[in-house]
Structure 1
Amino acid sequence: MTAASFTPKGPFSLAASIRFLEGFTPASYEQAADGVLRMAFPADDGVHVIGCAVRQKETAGPTPAAVTADITVHHGDTTLPAHLGTGRHQAARAQLARILSLDVDGAGFPALADADTVVAGLQADCPGLRPVCFHSPYEAAVRAVIGNRIRMSQAAAIKARLARDHGQAVRVAGEELHAFPAPDVLRRLDRVEGLSDIKLERLRALSEAALDGGLDAAILRGQPVESALTELRELPGIGPFSAELVLTRGAGHPDVFPTAEPRVHRAIATRYGLDAATAGDPARLAGIAAAWSPYRSRVALLLRTRAQDSARR
Structure 2
Amino acid sequence: MTAVSFTPKGPFSLAASIRFLEGFTPASYDQAPDTVLRLAFPTDDGQAVIGCALRQKGVADGSAAVHAEYSLYVDGTVTQPADGTPAAKAARAQIARVLSLDIDATGFPALADADPVIASLQAEFPGLRPVLFYSPYEAAAWTIIGNRIRRTQAARIKACIAQQYGEVVEVEGQRLHAFPAPDRLRRISDVPGLTDVKIERLRTLADAALDGRLDAAQLRAQPAEFALTDLKELPGIGPFSAELILIRGAGHPDVFPAHEPGVHQAMAAAYGLDSQAAASTTRLAAIADAWRPYRSWIALLLRAHAHERRANQV
Structure 1 SS opposite 2:105: coil
Alignment of 1:1-313 (within 5 A): 1-60=1-60, 62-83=61-82, 86-313=85-312
Structure 2 CA distance for aligned equivalents of residues 181 and 174 of structure 1: 21
Structure 2 CA distance for aligned equivalents of residues 201 and 58 of structure 1: 48
Structure 1 SS opposite 2:207: helix
Rate the CA distance shift 1:84–1:261 in 2: closer, same or farther, 3 A. closer
Are the aligned partners of 1:73 and 1:89 in contact in 2 as well (CA < 8 Å)? no
Structure 2 CA distance for aligned equivalents of residues 196 and 47 of structure 1: 28
Structure 2 SS opposite 1:119: helix
CA apart distance, 1:63: 4.5
State the TM-score, normalized to the length of structure 1. Answer: 0.98
Structure 2 CA distance for aligned equivalents of residues 156 and 128 of structure 1: 26
Provide the identity percentage: 65
- Which letter maps to 2:300? L
- Which letter maps to 2:57? K
Q: Deviations over 1:13-67 (max 9, x none)?
A: 000000000011111000001100001001000111111001001333x242100
Structure 1 CA distance for aligned equivalents of residues 62 and 54 of structure 2: 18
Q: Deviations over 1:262-296 (max 9, x none)?
A: 00001111110111111001011000000000000
Structure 2 CA distance for aligned equivalents of residues 312 and 19 of structure 1: 14
Q: Deviations over 1:134-176 (max 9, x none)?
A: 0000000000000001000000000111111111111111111
Structure 1 CA distance for aligned equivalents of residues 51 and 72 of structure 2: 7
Q: Which runs of 5+ in 1 are unaligned?
A: none
Q: Which of 3-12 and 185-194 deviates more?
A: 185-194
Rate the CA distance shift 1:311–1:78 in 2: closer, same or farther, 3 A. same
- Which letter maps to 2:299? A
Runs of 4+ in 1 over 3 A off after TM superposition: none
Report the number of matched residues: 312
Structure 1 CA distance for aligned equivalents of residues 4 and 310 of structure 2: 38
CA apart distance, 1:81: 2.6
CA apart distance, 1:85: 8.7
Are the aligned partners of 2:13 and 2:59 in contact in 1 as well (CA < 8 Å)? no
CA apart distance, 1:237: 0.6
- Which letter maps to 1:145? I
- Which letter maps to 2:31? Q
Are the aligned partners of 1:73 and 1:88 in contact in 2 as well (CA < 8 Å)? no
Structure 2 CA distance for aligned equivalents of residues 206 and 6 of structure 1: 32
Q: Which of 112-121 and 77-86 deviates more?
A: 77-86
Structure 2 CA distance for aligned equivalents of residues 236 and 85 of structure 1: 38
Structure 1 CA distance for aligned equivalents of residues 215 and 59 of structure 2: 35
RMSD: 1.1
Q: Which runs of 5+ in 2 are unaligned?
A: none
Are the aligned partners of 2:139 and 2:245 in contact in 1 as well (CA < 8 Å)? yes
Structure 2 SS opposite 1:241: helix
Structure 2 SS opposite 1:234: coil
State the TM-score, normalized to the length of structure 2. Answer: 0.98
Structure 2 SS opposite 1:68: strand
- Which letter maps to 1:2? T
CA apart distance, 1:84: 8.8
Structure 2 CA distance for aligned equivalents of residues 311 and 80 of structure 1: 44
